[in-house]
Amino acid sequence: MLTVLGFAPFYLFPVPIITLAVLLGFCHRSRSPMRAALLGFCFGMGLFCAGVTWIYVSLHDFGAMPMPIAVIALIVLCAYLSLFPALSVWILAKLRLTSPLIWAAVAAALWMLFEWLRGYLFTGFPWLALGYSQAPFSPLAGFAPIIGVYGISMVLILSAALLFLWTETGFRKWRYGLPFVLIWLGGFGLQAIEWVKPEGEPITVSLLQGNIAQDMKWREDHLENSMETYAKLILESDSRLIVTPEISIPLFSDVMPQSYLSHLAAHARNNDGDVLIGLAERTVDGSDDYYNTMFSYGSAPEQRYRKHHLVPFGEFIPLKPIFGWVIQVLQIPLSDFSRGSLDQQPMDLAGQRVAINICYEDVFGEEIIYQLPQATMLVNVSNDAWFGRSIGPQQHLQISQMRALETGRYMLRATNTGVTAIIDERGRVLQTIEIFTTAALRGLAQGFSGATPYVRAGNYPVLGLAGLLVCIGLMSALSRRTKNPVKSS
Average pLDDT over residues 378-398: 93
Chain centre distance of CA 246? 16
State how beta strands 241-243 and 274-282 pair. parallel
What is the percent of the chain with per-residue pLDDT over 70, rounded to a whole number? Answer: 94
Query: Which is catalytic among the residues 27, 78, 217, 246?
Result: 246
3-state secondary structure of 36: helix
Partners of 209 in the β-ladder: 439
Q: Looking at residue 418, what DSSP letter applies?
A: S
If you average pLDDT over residues 355-367, what whole number do you get? 94
The span from the CA of 487 to the CA of 489, in Å, is 6
Task: Grade residue 418 by pLDDT with cuts at 50, 70 and 90.
Answer: confident
pLDDT of residue 209 exceeding 80, the answer is yes
Peptide bond into 136 cis (omega under 30): yes
Fold assignment, 197-454: Nitrilase/N-carbamoyl-D-aminoacid amidohydrolase (3.60.110)
Taking only the tens place, the pLDDT of each residue in 90-149 is 999 999 999 999 999 999 999 999 999 999 998 899 999 999 999 999 999 999 999 999
Q: What pLDDT band is residue 489 in, cutting at 50, 70 and 90?
A: very low
- Catalytic residue check, 228: no
Q: Where in the chain is the domain with CATH 3.60.110.10?
A: 197-454
Residue 49: active-site member: no
More confident residue, 339 or 240: 240
From the candidates 281, 307, 366, 406, which is the catalytic residue?
307
Say whether 307 is catalytic. Answer: yes
Indicate the pTM of the whole model. 0.94
User: Does pLDDT of 324 surpass 60?
Assistant: no
